[in-house]
Amino acid sequence: MAGNIFGNLFRVSTFGESHGIALGGIIDGCPAGIELNMKEIQYELNRRRPGQSSIVTQRNEPDEVNFLSGIFNNKTTGTPIGFVVYNKNHKSHDYHHLKEVYRPSHSDFTYEKKYGIRDYRGGGRSSARETICRVVAGAIAKQLIKDIKITSYVSSVGNISINKSYQELDLSRESIEKNSIRCPDPNTAEKMISKIKKIKNRGDTIGGIITCIITNIPIGIGEPIFEKLHAELGKAMLSINAVKGFEYGSGFDGTKLTGSQHNDLFQEDESTKTNLSGGIQGGISNGMDIYFKIAFKPIATIMKKQKTIDKHGNFILIEGKGRHDPCVLPRAIPIVESMTALVLADYWMYTKLSKYSSIKKN
């Protein structure tokens, strides 16, 4: 009910349901004077778009963003940036049979109980279509913090994983975008794609893991004690549809180590020899690479018959219709990067405030 604003200084409000007229948002707090590259914004939307390859949903949505305010002569003006993306292809009739049904592992049931009313046309507000607004805002945030590089890629699909560290991979845009699964290791990518195709043919879906790397980040970003950098990154990632887990640096594996194995020793130049800390100490960036992993469950909508109940407690059989993603991961890449950029943009601004400096009388 009240969770539709993200960030404090670089604040994004969003609205919109999967089958409504439009989705959109407002960015409040974007500094004035940023020259925006509109192509980069559309590029990110295209990476999130349905229909972009054979392993994602074949729905066709142009997903074009219209900016309504806050930009003048291609520059941000410091006033709120309003934007909308119209839903061209909602096909509400596809969903009428779901009016009173609680689909398994969807949020039909919880929305109905929480609000007492529900837009039953598709996922409504809980649909991943909502993330389109995150990508628009994130693409602008990326341009605010352009010196920082955010890269993410698919590191696992089901039980197929890259068995190289991120340092061993070519993480250039070209390398990651070369294949439809967005995995920079070509052999693994091929196996992942073939796995997804098999799963799709069975009408099923599959989960996986995305790895995200932040490089060239200034020291000092993060706001202890409750808003440590990794805590806010974790929250941002966990707010993405289908995410079940987040770890950074040594993560869950690090729990098996001793302190003497885990400690990152400093070098003369203030960098550390190892980086099990994952670039963050005490909730504040230390200038080393930040890296983290995000676990995505398999999508709940499957093209197979499932038994479920309706709101009167009657059992019924349902089966996914239409065109759905067999695996959320390739389209989630720009969402992960967008949320990362939103966190960093917000915190970057706080960082300007941590040390005292006076503002002179003009």
Q: Give the annotated binding-site residues for NADP(+).
A: 48
What is the nearest approach in angstroms of a second copy to the Cβ of residue 185? 17
Query: In what helix (H) or strand (E) does residue 5 lie, and over which residues does it extend?
Result: strand 5-6
d(CA 17, CA 35): 30
Cα dist from 261 to 181, 201, 209, 266, 360, whole Å: 35, 46, 26, 14, 49
Residue 168 φ/ψ region, left for φ over 0, alpha for ψ in the -120 to 50 degree band, beta for the rest? alpha
What is the nearest approach in angstroms of a second copy to the Cβ of residue 135? 14
Across-strand partners of 84?
A: 24, 66
What is the nearest approach in angstroms of a second copy to the Cβ of residue 242? 10
27 three-state secondary structure: strand
Residue 71, amino acid = I
What is the nearest approach in angstroms of a second copy to the Cβ of residue 46? 22
Residue 355 in contact with a second copy, rule: CB under 8 A:
yes
Identify residues 294-333 at the interface with a second copy (CB under 8 A). 295-302, 304, 306-309, 313, 315
Identify residues 166-195 at the interface with a second copy (CB under 8 A). none
Residue 163 in contact with a second copy, rule: CB under 8 A:
no
Out of 57, 152, 211, 250, the only residue in the binding site for a second copy (CB under 8 A) is: 250
Identify residues 114-143 at the interface with a second copy (CB under 8 A). 114-119, 124-126, 130
Identify residues 53-112 at the interface with a second copy (CB under 8 A). 66, 68-70, 72, 75-82, 84, 102, 104-107, 109-111
Write the DSSP assignment of 279-311 as a string of letters. Answer: TEETTEE-SSPEEEEEEEPPPS--SS-EEEEET
- Binding site for FMN, by residue number, is 125-127, 241-242, 282, 297-301, 323
For residue 95, the 8-state DSSP code is G
Out of 92, 281, 289, 323, the only residue in the binding site for a second copy (CB under 8 A) is: 281
Residue 285 in contact with a second copy, rule: CB under 8 A:
yes
In three state form, how does the secondary structure of 148-198 look? CEEEEEEEEECCEECCCCHHHCCCCHHHHHCCCCCCCCHHHHHHHHHHHHH
What is the nearest approach in angstroms of a second copy to the Cβ of residue 130? 6
Nearer to a second copy, 174 or 313 (CB): 313
Which tokens go with 135?
A: 């990508």
Residue 228 in contact with a second copy, rule: CB under 8 A:
yes
Nearer to a second copy, 42 or 174 (CB): 42
Nearer to a second copy, 151 or 272 (CB): 272
Side-chain-facing half-sphere of 139: CA atoms under 13 Å: 23
Out of 64, 261, 319, 321, the only residue in the binding site for a second copy (CB under 8 A) is: 261
